[in-house]
Amino acid sequence: MSSPERWTAARPDTPAATAATPTAEQVIAGLRATSEGGADLVQLLTPEGERVTHPDFDIDIEPAQLRALYRDMVLVRRVDRESNALQRKGELGLWVPLLGQEAAQVGAGRAMKPQDMAFPSYREHGVAFCRGIDPADLLGTFRGTDHGSWDPLEKKFGLYTIVIGNQVLNATGYAMGQRFDGKVGNTDGNGNHADDDEATIVFFGDGATSQGDVHEGFVWAAVYDAPLVFFCQNNQWAISEPTERQSRLPLYQRARGYGFPGVRVDGNDVLACLAVTQWALEECRRGNGPVLIEAFTYRMDAHTTTDDPSRYRLSDEVEEWKLKDPIERVRAYLARNGLAEHSFFEEVQAESDELAERLREACVNIPNPPPERIFANVYAEPNPVLDAEREELMSYLASLEDVHSGGEH
Amino acid sequence: MSSPERWTAARPDTPAATAATPTAEQVIAGLRATSEGGADLVQLLTPEGERVTHPDFDIDIEPAQLRALYRDMVLVRRVDRESNALQRKGELGLWVPLLGQEAAQVGAGRAMKPQDMAFPSYREHGVAFCRGIDPADLLGTFRGTDHGSWDPLEKKFGLYTIVIGNQVLNATGYAMGQRFDGKVGNTDGNGNHADDDEATIVFFGDGATSQGDVHEGFVWAAVYDAPLVFFCQNNQWAISEPTERQSRLPLYQRARGYGFPGVRVDGNDVLACLAVTQWALEECRRGNGPVLIEAFTYRMDAHTTTDDPSRYRLSDEVEEWKLKDPIERVRAYLARNGLAEHSFFEEVQAESDELAERLREACVNIPNPPPERIFANVYAEPNPVLDAEREELMSYLASLEDVHSGGEH
Amino acid sequence: MAAPTLEPTAKAAKPQTITMAKALNAGLRAAMEADPKVLIMGEDVGKLGGVFRITDGLQKDFGEHRVLDTPLAESGIIGTAIGLAIRGFRPVCEIQFDGFIFPAFDQIVSQLAKLHYRSQGKLRVPIVVRVPFGGGIGSVEHHSESPESYFAHTAGLRVVSCSNPVDAYWMIQQAITSDDPILFFEPKRQYYSSKAELDTSATPQPLHTSRVLRTGTHATLVAYGPSVKVCLDSAAAAAEDGIELEVIDLRTLSPLDLGPVYDSVRKTGRLVAVSESPMEASLNSEIATRVSQECFYSLQAPVLRVNGFDTPYPPSKLEEDFLPDLDRVLYTVDRSLAW
Amino acid sequence: MAAPTLEPTAKAAKPQTITMAKALNAGLRAAMEADPKVLIMGEDVGKLGGVFRITDGLQKDFGEHRVLDTPLAESGIIGTAIGLAIRGFRPVCEIQFDGFIFPAFDQIVSQLAKLHYRSQGKLRVPIVVRVPFGGGIGSVEHHSESPESYFAHTAGLRVVSCSNPVDAYWMIQQAITSDDPILFFEPKRQYYSSKAELDTSATPQPLHTSRVLRTGTHATLVAYGPSVKVCLDSAAAAAEDGIELEVIDLRTLSPLDLGPVYDSVRKTGRLVAVSESPMEASLNSEIATRVSQECFYSLQAPVLRVNGFDTPYPPSKLEEDFLPDLDRVLYTVDRSLAW
Ligand SMILES: Cc1ncc(C[n+]2csc(CCOP(=O)(O)OP(=O)(O)O)c2C)c(N)n1
Ligand SMILES: Cc1ncc(C[n+]2csc(CCOP(=O)(O)OP(=O)(O)O)c2C)c(N)n1
Ligand SMILES: [Mg+2]
Ligand SMILES: [Mg+2]
């Protein structure tokens, strides 16, 4: 006996992960699987720019707010494209493009309250933007001048984390701390929800869901009722590996096994991402966390500037997703419904040009760190052994000229 | 919005894991939670020894087979009690009791075909017995003379694994290998299922479910359709921590998030354990793996001989479970239905006395390993550096007398 | 035990005799009373008080939100402790046994050790990871290991080990107040056998300093944790044969405080380094290398090492031959003297 | 590059010039053709051919069941490889970058290194773990580390590192045929810069042996992996100043083959050990310790070490000062000569 009702069976639209060289049907099925979110997908703005309603996650939004979201996405995309270009010019050693994921990141970023904390992976330039981090401050890591330059506590935005999954446990601990600090589930004098309650949101990818640390984060957050939103950007690819290398099921269903909500949202629909993340963060602030959100989106560019996607994915797939562009649908909706003047779009365009210009400027002017920096902040307290190593390097550097002249030899 | 239908909500009978000092209601709820398996519990023989049917997992069983299962459980329990006594007498450094888990282990062990592979944790003495391992061969590890003495490939029973969770990934790889070797989903000439197809079963506890390795095993097994049965013995405790420290949900529901079956079986009902595990292994051999089984049972004794359960659990709980004894219900059923003579029970008793005697004998006669053993089999191939260390120890040991006399000083 | 002769407690008011286990428990309690941000996390550290009872009674007195019985996963323990530290807490994590720290290795090496550096000092992760370590307890596999060298090799971590109740009491408190992550190695087989008089009014010596426990002229023994007692016993035995051995307790494994060792070797000309850990690329290798450099002209014999062998920890019936003991130490001292 | 002068290829028939990347790819291909039980596992090793293209084309030619694109989790990669090895396969696992091996540390230390010992030889786990390691590629954090000492400190593992295409081609095949688990460290920054003539008909030297690459009389340089080229360049530069440096490529890090180093130091009286890894409790500590013992009376100066510093790997703009280079090696040689 083995009936699908009894437990969650693999979706018909997810091809068997062990499929050898795929058949034509499977290729098409695969295309559909990565381009359609399925029945449970939460969407409020269609790719064609039509506003649709949703029974659970609808949202009232002012035209001004929608224009602001549009502006955010345009600026974020410009930052991404400009940084990509800077890498091509040799000004950056590496860049990690977010192209295509603007809606997921701006929707999530704008759903946060100032007191909420975010823990990013390494692709969350859009969330960083929403947290008020100057895009120029993102570049040091990719230029090789620092490992992260902003103050994570001041900006409430953690440093980029490269080891897949690590930040999920760190975010879980931070969220546990919010609860231990009594910042969850409070009410004010009139019995209304206190508006200084806090939540945490952690970002990771579809590939990351396979890591033990992500599972342990799910376990801890559930057991400690942590006010934590697990925000998984399923951009369909982990470098060259499609999502079915990681799971039989749609990733939002992973939450079922832990006993907390899992929601799949159209990650290219900034409205839906905003609505679902606002709801999830509020659930957490009220003490009903954790919550898993799978933002169903697509990595339109290479994994990083060193990657060559043509080796592992079909251009048809990329073409499919171009039709679902997160910015275009908002532009269409704003324009069609007369919610934005032509001048508005021009202003945003001009603003993004300025931003790009500033970014180029800032990038080439990032000072190279001095050699002493190698030893700075390894420890918070004195370490004589390390001090000796620093002195050794310093005296060596001072002596370099002589060595070069080779006089001694 | 937040409706339980949308996702699996915490069961009402599992108290909030973050509950501080529990209320009386919670204590009672807790008692119920750990003594009742809930609606989905698969049971074929009630604690009172009544045979009940089950729509999915019923099984035809000969009286002789049932008597054999009874015998297995009695002998396994005797091995456990005798070994526990040997530790008390100082003949073993440690013992890990299985008392109370006989049905889960004998049911699972007897469901295996000769060609199936098992990967144990450290408490699976009952499974070892079913795999034909001489109970005396289990003792070396606990006496400190070896780290495991049987041949895992010959017995198709891995060595005990102490690092929680590790063996789950190793078992997953082995099961992947069975598939790669073409030992899964075959049919004979007449289109019947080939009877030399293979499966693997891996044993772990409730606490182990929190480990990243167990999650990664779930991910790999699902993605590679591995013929693997995840057999979780939920004995309600991870040393001093109750299961709600590990999960909000009943553990068998964890499988829902991965897209393979999860079944909760009465772990004190040897018939149900046999039926469910036979089904699960067959599913795997046919290529429908993996499957998760949660055997709902209870650790009647201490975690190990060094543990003191009185520090963390109520004796009422233990009393509750005494009423569900896995052996008693079979004895009652056999006797009441005239399926076994009084002489049968006496024979089994006598046999267990002999076994105990043999075990005592064997234990005290296990030879101490020679010092060279420290260096034996660290590597399969020569290692001169290690050879030098061995020589050093040997010449030192040879010189010991002189050193003692201290003449040189 | 050397403790009674230790400076700090010499001027003891009404000193009490306590075990290392009790000293650690008292030190943890004092730290939790001193700072409400101090948390204790780990497996079975609550109701049970830990399998060694080091945290006995703390959950009862400080509550479930200060003493956390965590789910069973070490990466989760360290990973969430890091988040709690970023939030402003000072978690003290217990790893149940030395052999079970490895699931947490990635969080320790990739995050715990690097966050302060990565953030240019903006993030502090003042976490203490308590590890009962070492052998000689007749236990099963993974319960008797000495993994300290892995962490001494890891930049960004501090590593210390106590060898007696008095140090245990003070060092755990000093470690908890440190703003750097610290691996704290406790010689588990001495939890209850090691007793000493503790004067809680004494002034402890700084955490990251080693200490001469016994002075001698013929050769120097350097050790830490469980091997310190072995060295003291060896020195006592050697003295009966007229051999005066100087014994130094390292106490701090990273950063190393080798000044006293250099001074001693310049005097004795001979050094034997003792540790239970495997030998290859270990702390004893580092000590030997540095002493060979610093005391190049003073050494009358090469630095000799007495270590556990480069094998997995053997079945416990063999640990007597595996572990450095008085005989093997004196045998090696003889080799050094005969060089 | 030293390779063209290496013995094995001297008598080359029609040798072809290839990069280290291509040599590894050819070696893997040869091993897979020789034994159907050889599997390749890892992240992106299939269609993509690995981020460094070391497994390029292998999945296409050998199929998805011989070259596995695994889920994204290193513990899973090593843990399942162990099960496959127990089943009779010979998995070759790729860890994408040095800094990502730590999630697998527990499976490597607790299972991979111990199964043969635990089973008294009944279980063999012939697994090769390929690790592109070392810095100098201008990358972001965790992509330039040198974790080899952790594994040299772990009993039950073998550790090797290649420094040129010819060794790469032979050593990967020798490692795959070994019945012990082997950590195989590849100097990633030389994947494409290091070229040499490869004669596949030559007879390779045994895997666990070091090799003298250049003879000299004034001092000895010992290194492995990426630092070998640094040492050869240093020796060439020193020669112009009339300083003859002997250069030894360790090749095997566990077990160490220090015989040639002892012989060399007995001749030169001076040794400088070069490695990118942190210094504390590292392989260089072990080398210095053993040479200080074995060559106690021959050393005219203490063994000096040139290592990466005991800090996390710095932002890449600083790696030039962090990594041992020709200048720092020669500066240290001068210190040794001036001792
Ligand atoms: C532990 C670890 N293993 C491997 C890598 C190399 N790596 C970097 S990104 C990546 C794929 C991540 O995919 P996903 O989680 O989907 O995130 P995405 O890059 O698509 O945003 C891999 C394998 C890493 N950074 N960390
Ligand atoms: C990685 C690891 N951490 C901690 C331990 C110590 N330990 C041994 S058994 C145990 C509890 C295991 O509970 P469970 O998984 O439910 O299995 P059970 O002992 O109840 O059969 C713990 C924490 C261990 N062996 N391995
Ligand atoms: Mg992805
Ligand atoms: Mg249990």
Structure confidence by residue, pLDDT tens digits, B94-106 = 999 999 999 999 9
Residue D10 has pLDDT above 60, yes or no: no
Q: Over 80: is that where the pLDDT of A51 sits?
A: yes
C-alpha D20, offset from chain centre: 12
The Å distance, Cα A236 to ligand 3 centre, comes to 5
Average pLDDT over residues A365-382: 98
User: Is residue C255 reached through a cis peptide bond, with omega within 30 degrees of 0 on the bond before it?
Assistant: yes
pLDDT on residue B339: 97
Query: What positions of C carry a catalytic annotation?
Result: 143
C292-305 mean pLDDT: 98
A12-21 pLDDT, tens digit each: 333 333 333 4
- Residues 6+ away with beta carbon under 8 Å from B361: none
pTM of the model: 0.95
The pLDDT value given to residue B115: 98
Please indicate whether, in this complex, the C-beta atoms of A169 and C76 are within 8 angstroms of each other.
Answer: yes
Chain D residues within 8 A of A213 when measuring between CB atoms: 103
Element (H, E) at A82: helix A63-88
- Summary count for chain C: helices (H), strands (E): 13, 14
Q: DSSP code of D109?
A: I
Compute CA D49 distance to the chain's CA centroid, rounded to the nearest angstrom. 21
Judged by CB atoms closer than 8 Å, whether chains meet at A159 and C118 is answered as yes
Task: Supply the pLDDT for residue D1.
Answer: 30
Q: Which residues of B are catalytic?
A: 299, 303, 312
Q: Whose CA is nearest to atom 21 of ligand 2?
A: B205
Quick one: B391 exposed, middle or buried, by C-beta within 10 A (0-12, 13-18, 19+)?
exposed
Q: What mean pLDDT do residues A76-99 have?
A: 98
CA distance linking residue D9 with residue D29, whole number of Å? 20
| Predicted local confidence at residue B344, as pLDDT | 98
pLDDT above 80: residue A300: yes
Chain C: closest CA distance from residue D253 (Å): 10
Helix or strand or coil: residue D66? coil
Q: Which chains contact B through at least 3 pairs of Cβ atoms less than 8 Å apart?
A: A, C, D
Q: Which ligand is nearest to the CA of B123?
A: 2
pLDDT higher than threshold 50 for residue B261: yes
Cis amide linkage into residue D15, ω under 30° from 0:
no
pLDDT in tens, C113-147: 999 999 999 999 999 999 999 999 999 999 999 99
- The model's confidence at residue B49, banded by pLDDT at 50, 70 and 90, is very high
Question: Which secondary-structure segment (H or E) carries A220?
Answer: helix A212-223
* Range with the largest mean pLDDT of A28-37, A186-195, D17-26: D17-26
Distance (Å) from CA B205 to ligand 4 centroid: 5
Does the pLDDT of residue B17 top 50, yes or no? no
DSSP conformation letters of C85-142? HHHT-EEEEEPSSGGGSGGGHHIIIIIITTHHHHTTTS-----EEEEEE---S---TT
Q: Please, which chains are in contact with A (at least 3 CB pairs closer than 8 A)?
A: B, C, D
Q: pLDDT at position D242, please?
A: 97
Touching subunits of D (3+ CB pairs, under 8 Å) are A, B, C
Among C110, C285, C301, the residue with its CB nearest the CB of D285 is C285
CA quadruple B233, B236, B240, B246: dihedral, nearest 10: 80
**With bands split at pLDDT 50, 70 and 90, how would you rate the model's confidence at B6?**
very low
- Does the pLDDT at position D271 exceed 70? yes
CA distances from A62 to A16, A67, A90, A109, A351 (A): 44, 9, 42, 18, 22
What residue owns the CA closest to ligand 2's atom 11? Answer: B238
Distance, in Å, from the CA atom of B330 to the CA atom of B353, rounded to the nearest integer, reads: 20
- State mean pLDDT over D199-224: 97
What is the reported pLDDT for D127?
98
Residue type, C337: L
Which pLDDT score, from 0 to 100, does residue A38 have? Answer: 86
If you average pLDDT over every residue of chain B, what do you get? 92
pLDDT in tens, A174-198: 999 999 999 999 998 888 899 999 9
Best interface-test mutation with D: which of C118, C280, C316 has the largest number of D CBs within 10 A? Answer: C280
What value does the mean pLDDT of chain A take? 92
pLDDT at residue B32, as a whole number? 62
Residue A346 pLDDT grade (very low, low, confident, very high; cuts 50, 70, 90):
very high
Mean pLDDT computed over every residue of chain D? 95
- pLDDT of A17: 32
Whether residue A299 lies in the annotated active site: yes
Residue B34 pLDDT > 80:
no
pLDDT recorded at residue B38: 86
Which residues surround ligand 2 with Cβ inside 6 Å?
B 123, 162-164, 205-208, 235, 237-239, 299, 303; C 43, 72, 74, 96, 100, 103
Average pLDDT over residues B119-134: 98
Ligand 1 contacts CB of residue A208 (under 6 A) = yes
Asked if A245's CB is within 8 angstroms of B223's CB, the reply is yes
pLDDT for A6 equals 36
pLDDT digits (tens, 9 = 90+) for C9-20: 444 457 789 999
Ligand that comes closest to the CA of residue B101: 2
Helix (H, G, I), strand (E, B) or coil at B102: helix
A-D C-beta contacts closer than 8 Å: 140
Inter-chain touch D86–B213, beta carbons under 8 Å: no
CA C147 – CA C104 distance, rounded (Å): 13
Q: In the B/D pair of chains, how many CB contacts fall below 8 A?
A: 138
Q: Is-contact B52 B46, C-beta < 8 A?
A: yes
Task: Flag if C288 and D283 touch (Cβ within 8 Å).
Answer: no
| Residue A258 annotated as catalytic | no
Residues C230-241 have a mean pLDDT of 98
Range B402-407 average pLDDT: 52
Q: State the pLDDT at residue D46.
A: 98
Residues of D in contact with B370 (CB under 8 A): none
Among the listed residues C317, C311, A15, D53, the one whose alpha carbon sits nearest the alpha carbon of residue B141: C317
> What is the crossing angle of helices A136-143 and A63-88, to 10°?
30
Contact A403 D76 (CB under 8 A): no
Q: Read off the pLDDT of residues A208-247 as tens digits, 9 standing for 90 and up.
A: 999 999 999 999 999 999 999 999 999 999 999 999 999 9
Residue D51 CA to ligand 1 center (angstroms) comes to 12
pLDDT at C310 over 80: yes
Q: Dihedral angle at the C-alpha atoms of B220, B223, B228, B229, nearest 10 degrees?
A: 90
Q: Look up the ipTM and state it.
A: 0.95
Mean pLDDT of D243-249: 98
Q: What is the pLDDT of residues D175-197, one digit of tens each?
A: 999 999 999 999 999 999 999 99
Residue D54 Cα to ligand 3 midpoint, Å, equals: 23
Which A residues 352-391 touch C at CB under 8 Å?
376-381, 383-386
CB C303 within 8 A of CB D303: no
Confidence of residue B131 (pLDDT cuts 50, 70, 90): very high
CA dist C86 and C179 (Å) reads: 12
A385 to D315: CB separation less than 8 angstroms, yes or no: no
Q: Are C189 and C99 in contact (CB under 8 A)?
A: no
Two tokens, residue B67: 């008597």
Cα first-last separation, chain A: 83
The predicted pLDDT at position A409 comes to 40
pLDDT score for D78? 99
Percent of chain B with pLDDT over 90: 86
The model's confidence at residue A29, banded by pLDDT at 50, 70 and 90, is low
Nearest residue (CA) to ligand 1, atom 13: A238
Contact at CB, B153 and D179, closer than 8 angstroms = no
pLDDT at A265: 98
Task: Tell me the pLDDT tens digit for each residue of B271-316.
Answer: 999 999 999 999 999 999 999 999 999 999 999 999 999 999 999 9
C-beta of residue B402 within 8 angstroms of C-beta of residue C241: no
Cβ contact B168:B120 at 8 Å: no
- Closest-CA distance, A56 to chain B, in angstroms, reads 6
